[in-house]
Amino acid sequence: MSENLGRWPVSIDVAVQWGDMDAFGHVNNTVYLRWCESARIAYFEKLGLSTGGPNVKHGPILARASVDYRKPVVYPATVRVQSTVSRLGNTSAVMNYRMSLVPSGERVAEGESVIVLIDYQTGAKVLLDAELRAKVGALEEQGTG
């Protein structure tokens, strides 16, 4: 199945806020992780995967996150954050993110995260089942990457 992954089917646009900048005068490094998070949640929503709530038995947690910073971003700007699932393991998935300026398309950063599905009660890892795999596959097929 993995040849069908990594096709960047989900994209959100985020308006940089003035307050995202730090004392260096450009967007603070932590803000990029927030953008990745927002893109990840958008992806989960397209999957119909719940992102929390009192009756949810298991859900995704972040095992690893990384960002490669290409260009400093300064306010005002709009950043397009694309997301894709590039790998599906037994109990984990790899998501990738591309962050680019709108409308120039200039790449400003790339991100990657490893997500694990866990049982909220026990903390144990949960297998990514066939239904979820099919949903991810169907969503990725809508991508153009």
- Applying CB under 8 A, which residues contact its own copies? 12, 14-15, 17-19, 21-25, 28-31, 33-34, 37-38, 41, 45, 51-52, 54, 59, 61-69, 72, 75-76
In the complex, least distance from residue 121 CB atom to its own copies, rounded to whole angstroms? 12
Nearer to its own copies by C-beta: 50 or 133? 50
Sign of torsion, CA 89 86 69 22?
Answer: negative
Q: Are 96 and 56 in contact (CB under 8 A)?
A: no
* Complex with its own copies: residue 62 or 133, whichever CB lies closer: 62
User: Measured from the CB of residue 35, what is the shortest distance to its own copies in angstroms?
Assistant: 8
Question: Cβ of 3: how many Cβ atoms within 10 Å?
Answer: 6
Comparison of 12 and 132: residue with beta carbon closer to its own copies: 12
Q: How far is the CB of 50 from its own copies (least distance, A)?
A: 11
Q: Are 81 and 52 in contact (CB under 8 A)?
A: no
**What is the phi/psi pair of residue 54, to 5°?**
-65, -25
Residue-by-residue DSSP string for 52-83:
--TT--EEEEEEEEEEEE-S---SS-EEEEEE
- Name the minimum Å distance from CB 1 to its own copies: 27
CB closer to its own copies out of 4 and 71? 71
The 10 Å Cβ neighbour count of residue 124 is: 11
**CB closer to its own copies, 52 vs 145:** 52
The nearest distance, CB 127 to its own copies, in angstroms, is: 20
